[in-house]
A and B are shown apart, each in its own frame.
Chain A
């Protein structure tokens, strides 16, 4: 495998520095990588892991172009026409407005205005609408986009570099973070992604680095920095952190999570001294904010006055004093290319794509690809897809879908489309995975044990029934194209199996569905029940 992969990896390494908007074309020549033949079971497996499940026609498409062909399409997302994803996004355009404009339009007014209850209600409504639009802008594209691998990886990295939308200015910044820090690099190079997240205001606010300054340092000139947006009244939003003041000091929060979660992993061999060293190196990495309504933008800003002027040591590497922001660039490079990072991230990717406890073989293959290419994400994904562990029978249908995967795949299976409201995100909320609302920086977990419990199973059954009977708020489905109404219930069950379960429904599941609809006189009800049971079956909870 190693030998077969190398021509491809050399090709990738050569173009490693391109941003994803300009991702270099990538081909997977047959002699570079071994992939199995696409039978329908393999196609279903591929679509459940490298996409948010199959839409009608997807399985046939994979069978037609082959696994290699499908991966090539998905690894070159700009070649895929994505009118569907674009038009889904247009419904939630609010989310993608400039953060400063959102601040101007949605931040609470002056205290006098906030005392007025009607104004307060209006304010809360606005914040809710905005939060809904931000969540839907992600969910709707996960469902509709043809660039499914880009969507899967955007979700993966957004969760990896978790931010919490209800924290302070992240109300206005989260969608921008996903759009400009995550998505462009989701299939690019890890170091570019790391730098993009480290310098995005949403992360600087979320993990408090914007607040971290060298002890005893003072901003020059003006006594206080720009005024930050003030606290909203919506209960979901805690008060905003105050801007750094003259007496502010070091804050370790980002420094610690940068190593523990974003790069090295908790076993990555760093110490508390290293955490302090990283925090000192990153002092001054701050945020420029709108100074008042309509003036100024949110942006990364390096505050030289706040930067710790001493020399530092991290992981045994000296950072001589006096290099300002370059110290941080050097640090991020050090972390990105550290072997512990390659292993930590490879393990996480394999846990997502292969199995909750991924076998060593696929992790080693991913690590090897990572290190040969300096962290080229596409190369790592190809290595995972080509790993025998990925295709091993014991790893097929072996993962329990996280709530996002359940909701997105259910809507995709029914060829559904979110309406213009944000009500569909309510389903994610009920299942415990509201997007961008994970408070702690570890993000949502991805293992069965985290999602498999009695209450959650019942919630899935209820959502399945609602979706199948057209009662799911916020989404429209058209069952007629999928499984036409028929009084031939054997044919109905066959159609539902093909459409919802990719033809892979277990004998028991199909038997129970057939039995349960057997005495229903109304064929429309029978169809709704069959679809609902299929979506709420154990088979559909697996991927």
Chain B
């Protein structure tokens, strides 16, 4: 395992050492755009990150049904023990059960494509959504001065592939902090609508006019952002990702997450060189009436979440051999239900890792226990896996990033800290 990592270390170290960390002059200009070279084909690695904004209740996604404190602290919002009720948890390993509305993921777990990491989170104690999201996206918990994201630094590690504007893509109108930084990254709400909208031939003429307007006028990030836009327009038109229909029998759930993952699949299949793709999904801040295994706000969200991930995995089929999906959320929620049949901001949560390279079928990470003396600050699930250990493993073993201190400056991360989600 560690042998594998160190091999990659040598391959990539040279490129990485070029990147100056933390002092990246974000607003002085992005990495210059290199000449086009052929985009990468099948066999190149893709990471899809899904951020569950609002702090998902990990204790509901992955139910610690063997821990008696779960049932002592929650009454109205519990998921019953496997086999004990119609909407009971789906057993994973005699300790943990999947929320029944995540049932679409169970076959992937059973097939060894899906791993779960329990009690993962940030060493920073903040219970602020915004701080905690920022820390998770910059990769520097506790340090607000970091301006670029860990995924952007991940893109900067490898200069061989800077030819395509699609190396880093966020599906949505805005670039999340995780992808902001000196390496080019795109935000695309809708692949079909990307570009200047006008009938031919006016479209080409207007596109050229705007390109001239923006290219010479500005320097720095405005100019490079514009350059990326026009390059992306050209490549998207040539590749036409919309021609890739979902595989037979695959239906993505209606809703923003299903739509985003469908487009992610199209980008991957179009071989545009997508290396890191980012999708946001909100609605997890369940302070009030979060519901139980059968009904409620959280059950509805989880149903959509599980269906969308399962559809994506089936749609990509064999391409999943080169794809890893990593889910994340800024923190978990209180062990005890609050007065409104909801949960408040907590600490550790659970994350999923899905894909061909995943050593799945296992719930990883040390379980700290829910008993009062085992809790963080006496109330929340303790963090036993630093999120950087998990993210670092995925970056190193899947994307071949060698110098993890570049991704997570100031953090001493070696392979023995990896939770072991990838071979």
Interface residues of A (CB under 8 A from B): 208, 211-213, 215, 235, 238-239, 241-242, 244, 247-253, 256, 260, 266, 272, 400, 430-432, 439-440, 442, 448-459, 461-462, 465, 506, 508-509, 512-513, 515-516, 529, 532-533, 536-539, 541
A452 touching B225, Cβ below 8 Å: yes
A266 to B196, CA, bound (A): 41
CA distance A400 to B196 in the complex (A): 21
For the complex of A and B, list the 4 residue pairs with the smallest distance between their C-beta atoms, beginning with the closest. A249-B339, A432-B173, A248-B339, A454-B229
Q: In the complex where A212-B339, A249-B338, A260-B128 touch, is A529 in contact with B222 (Cβ < 8 A)?
A: no
Point out the residues of chain B lying under 8 angstroms from A430, CB to CB.
Answer: 173, 189
- Complex: A541 Cα to B218 Cα, angstroms: 12
Give B357-392 as 1s and 0s: 1 = Cβ < 8 Å from A's Cβ atoms: 000000000000000000001000000000000000
Complex: how many Å from CA A465 to CA B202? 11
Interface 1/0 per residue, B302-339 and A, CB below 8 Å:
00000000000000000000000000000000000011
Pick out which of these stretches binds chain A: B180-188, B240-248, B402-410.
B180-188
Determine how close the nearest CB of chain B comes to the CB of A516; give it in whole angstroms. 4
Q: Are A256 and B210 in contact (CB under 8 A)?
A: no
Contact indicator A454/B232 (Cβ below 8 Å): yes
How many Å from the CB of A502 to the closest CB on chain B?
Answer: 16
Cα of A541 to Cα of B213 in the assembled complex, Å: 13
- CB-contact partner of B127 in A249, A272, A400, A453, under 8 A: A272
* Given known A537-B217, A538-B218, contact A449–B147 (CB-CB < 8 A): yes
A529, B207: Cα distance in complex, Å: 12
User: Quick one: which of A208, A450, A537 has the most chain B CB within 10 A?
Assistant: A208
Q: Would you call B68 an interface residue if the criterion is a C-beta within 8 Å of the partner chain's C-beta atoms?
A: no
In the assembled complex, which residues on chain A have CB atoms less than 8 Å from the CB atom of B287? 208, 211, 251, 253
Known: A536-B213, A538-B217, A539-B217. A461 touches B196 (CB 8 A): yes
- Complex: chain B residue closest to A442, CB-CB: B130
Bound CA–CA A455/B165 (angstroms): 12
Determine which of A241, A250, A252, A509 lies in contact with B288 in the assembled complex, contact meaning CB atoms within 8 Å. Answer: A241
Q: Is B352 an interface residue (CB 8 A)?
A: no
Residues of A within 8 A of B185 (CB): 453
Chain B: interface size category: 35 or more
Distance in Å: Cβ of B186 to nearest Cβ of chain A:
5
Q: CB of B14 within 8 A of chain A?
A: no
Complex contact B222–A256 (CB within 8 A): no
Number of A-B pairs, beta carbon distance below 8 Å: 162
The answer to whether B196 and A215 touch across the interface, beta carbons within 8 angstroms, is no
User: Are B210 and A453 within 8 A (Cβ)?
Assistant: no
Closest to A458 in B: B229
A238 touches B173 (CB 8 A): no
User: In the complex the two chains form, is A432's CB within 8 Å of B213's CB?
Assistant: no
* Residue of A430, A431, A508 ringed by the most chain B CB atoms within 10 A: A508
Contacts of A442 in B (CB 8 A): 129-130
Do A449 and B289 form a contact, CB below 8 Å, given A266-B131, A536-B210, A538-B222?
Answer: no
Q: Can you name 9 A-B pairs with beta carbons within 8 Å?
A: A211-B340, A215-B339, A238-B297, A432-B172, A452-B221, A455-B188, A461-B210, A465-B198, A536-B213
- A456 and B289 within 8 A (CB): no
Return chain B residues, CB-CB under 8 Å to A513.
213
A442 to B177, CA, bound (A): 15
Residue contact B26 to A449, C-beta cutoff 8 Å:
yes
* A492 to B339 CA separation, bound complex (whole angstroms): 66
Contacts of B130 in A (CB 8 A): 260, 266, 440, 442
Q: A242-B340, A458-B196, A537-B214 are in contact. List 17 more A-B contacts (CB 8 A).
A: A211-B340, A215-B339, A250-B339, A440-B53, A440-B130, A449-B147, A450-B174, A453-B185, A455-B173, A459-B173, A461-B210, A465-B196, A508-B213, A516-B212, A533-B210, A537-B217, A538-B226
Considering the chains assembled together, what is the distance between the CA atoms of A244 and B216 in angstroms? Answer: 60
**Alpha-carbon separation in the docked complex, A439 to B256 (Å):** 15
Q: Which of B23-77 contact A (CB under 8 A)?
A: 26-27, 53-54
State the CA gap A440–B129 with chains docked (Å).
9
